Structure 1
């Protein structure tokens, strides 16, 4: 199985090689993938996997941390670093290299489909990362401020993940070409999503005014706040 995952280790040490093989195998086959298959993908013995990670759960934890790092790397060019707008050259480089995110993206979808505490933790991590990077974008002038920054960050994460889950269901990834999933998704939705994010959709504020009057931004927003009705 071919791994297209970025790595911290320039020379792909045994530990990094095992981790990347596990990411690819979990992404393709789910978390029930046997340790022996992961070891074979990495070209090592199962005993060496246990030596480096202690257990399959330890290997899963290393994969989770790697995916968290990859997600963090991908945010800044989109929303803009402090002190300026997104660098166009960085943005083009990111779009040209999207297929390297195939494995970590499919891995994340496996986590979210499985649900549970880990999925909630990863979503919370992504929301916090998004909230922080959006705040940097607001400070630099690259992003419009929001009436409810926390709710906007959570909505953007849920919107992105939901779109990926549905697209994966309609266009299942080829386990031998996980980058193809990202290429296909970007071919279908990169332009319309950039258009909506950049230019907006509606030409007047009628809907926004009605929604703001019915569901005003809470003073202490949480994901479980009930809808607010007009009194």
Structure 2
């Protein structure tokens, strides 16, 4: 006999897949129930309504994604490209789901943003705990910038792939993205203005 938790998890998984494919406005509780071959009343029983279902879907999907992302970031740097490829390849539905949440705007995008920001703060705390974080004067704003960067990448995924000439999980594109991200996160890319005045003649 199927457990309550397995039924709930299955319904949540189907909902995420449908939201990712058809968007939030185009996906009703009735259509999710039909896909899952259950009654709409069962969805209401488990989640209470569409808004509550979306809220839980955002929380779980983002939580699962960030858990894998943290594991990849804490791994040895020589495995970063391989880890990113694996994460991107298996997370296609999750990325599309996040994109739909951002495109939906309003409360749904705000929920995703708030959850992503909290996860970014938690990631910085964890990196600090294991000695992988530099001294940061404003950790909150750093977490904010990380959130903006991550969600921006999700929103413009197709444009990124078009610009770099391939899927984000491909060897070439994954290597370029990971290497550029590591350089910016670890080293930065600009010199202070005071060190360039002599070179520019100003």
* TM-score interval (norm. to shorter): 0.7 to 0.9
In 2, Cα distance between equivalents of 1:48 and 1:11: 11
Tell me the TM-score normalised to structure 2 length. Answer: 0.73
Cα distance change of structure 1 residues 41 and 88 upon mapping to structure 2, 3 Å threshold: farther
Shift of 1:29: 0.5
Distance 1:138 1:163 in 2: 24
| 1:124/1:15 CA distance change after superposition, 3 Å | closer
Note closer, same or farther for the CA distance 1:204–1:17 as it changes in structure 2 (3 Å cut): closer
CA deviation after TM superposition for structure 1 residue 94, in Å: 6.2
Give the structure 2 partner of residue 119 of structure 1: 109
Determine the C-alpha separation between the residues in 1 that align with 2:71 and 2:18: 29
| Cα separation, 2, equivalents of 1:42 and 1:208 | 62
* CA apart distance, 1:109: 1.4
Matches within 5 A, 1:45-84: 45-80=39-74
Which range is displaced more, 156-165 or 193-202?
A: 193-202
After TM superposition, give the deviation of residue 195 of structure 1 in Å: 1.1
Q: How many residues align?
A: 187
* 2:132 corresponds to 1:142: yes
Residues 127-180 of structure 1 show CA distances to partners (whole Å, capped at 9, x for unaligned) of 2221221232234233333343222221122112112212246779xxxxxxxx
Q: Deviations over 1:50-98 (max 9, x none)?
A: 2322322232233123223213312322442xxxxx2569864564253
In 1, Cα distance between the equivalents of 2:57 and 2:153?
Answer: 23
Checking the alignment, whether the CA contact within 8 Å between 1:79 and 1:143 is kept in structure 2 is no
CA deviation profile, 1:37-59 (whole Å, cap 9, x unmatched): 21222222323222322322232
- State the SS of the aligned residue for 2:91: helix
Q: Specify every segment of 5 or more residues in structure 1 that has no aligned partner in the other structure, as ranges.
A: 1-8, 81-85, 173-182, 211-231
Q: Contact conserved, 2:183 with 2:189, CA < 8 A, in 1?
A: no
Counterparts in 2 of 1:101 and 1:202: CA distance versus 1, 3 Å: closer
- Per-residue deviation, 1:28: 0.6
- Which residue of the partner structure matches residue 98 of structure 1? 88
RMSD: 3.5
Structure 1 contact 79–142 (Cα < 8 Å) conserved: no
Question: 2:190 matched to 1:196?
Answer: no
In the other structure, the counterpart of 1:23 is 16
Structure 1 residue 14 displacement after superposition? 2.1
Q: Which runs of 5+ in 2 are unaligned?
A: 197-202
Distance across 2 between alignment mates of 1:205 and 1:171:
29
